[in-house]
Amino acid sequence: MAVGIFDSGLGGLTVLDAVAKRLPDVPLVYLGDSAHAPYGVRTPDDIYNLTTAATTRLFDAGCDLVILACNTASAAALRRMQESWVPKDKRVLGVFVPMIEALTERQWGDNSPPREVAAKHVALFATPATVASRAFQRELAFRAIGVDVEAQACGGVVDAIEDGDMILADALVRSHVDALMRKMPSPDAAILGCTHYPLMEAEFQAALGPDVKVFSQANLVADSLADYLTRRPEMVGPGTDAAFLTTGDPKKVSARATQFLRRQITFTAA
């Protein structure tokens, strides 16, 4: 009955933690491709090949449903995977749609025409690859009209978080927020378009100011997954064991993951 959660590194642990609290009876198999992180500076073909390889590993672990808890993979690989690669008895879902549904106040499966929404000026903070894909703007256009999106590629933030250098990560966040606000001085809302960024949510909020509503993904994805499994219980796979897998150094990744989640996390080699 396992569900797979994939990320290029450790950022997806924010999603795993929220899903584990929301669905405590579902075994979760997490795979972090730390050997190839970060994905945000890779080409679309490279991201696609790495993501399909990792997803195959999660299928092999008994996960019929895999969540790409990586915005870069969701932006650069998901549509191509769903159109031509995912087996008929499996499902691979991304993390963009739950966040856009929250931003536009639409329920899952609401396929009515796009309409005006409260947020008119939206700041998007994401990796360079996610920004370049324009996947967020494409998905938003299906649901909303009249929304101005200003995207900021946040180079270096993922690397700093993965290295545990939160002082550098804080400085980079403030620099990127400053750069965006020179282009969009008064955003209504801000999207943290990388699952690493919830670890810096307080820093983003402080730099943006109290009047900007910050949308972070972890709880939104967990709620969306719970709803999906209520409607599609057959997509819970046959696996029965929870696991943390990494393509990197298990000892090093375990130490960093334990620091992130403030509880003991033990990774094994993927």
CA distance 267 to 254: 5
The residue written with tokens 């282009």 in the block is: 183
Please give the CATH architecture assigned to the domain spanning 97-216. Answer: 3-Layer(aba) Sandwich (3.40)
Taking 80 as the threshold, does the pLDDT of residue 107 lie above it?
no
Catalytic residue among 29, 117, 154, 194: 194
Domain boundary assignment for the chain: 3-95+218-269, 97-216
8 labelled binding-site residue: yes
14 labelled binding-site residue: no
| Collapsed DSSP state (helix, strand, coil) of residue 49 | helix
Longest dimension (CA), the chain: 51
CATH 3.40.190.10 is right for the domain spanning 3-95+218-269: no
Catalytic residue among 19, 20, 65, 70: 70
Taking 90 as the threshold, does the pLDDT of residue 17 lie above it?
yes
7 labelled binding-site residue: yes
The pLDDT, as a whole number, for residue 88 is: 94
Q: What is the mean pLDDT of residues 249-267?
A: 93
| Collapsed DSSP state (helix, strand, coil) of residue 242 | coil
Taking 80 as the threshold, does the pLDDT of residue 1 lie above it?
no
- Beta pairing class for 243-246 and 268-269: parallel
Taking 70 as the threshold, does the pLDDT of residue 176 lie above it?
yes
Using the Cα atoms of residue 74, residue 33, residue 52 and residue 68 in order, give the sign of their dihedral.
negative
Q: Say whether 97-216 and 3-95+218-269 share the same fold.
A: yes
Q: What pLDDT band is residue 259 in, cutting at 50, 70 and 90?
A: confident
Q: What is the mean pLDDT of the chain?
A: 93
Per the annotation, the verdict on 70 as an active-site residue is yes
Taking 70 as the threshold, does the pLDDT of residue 108 lie above it?
no
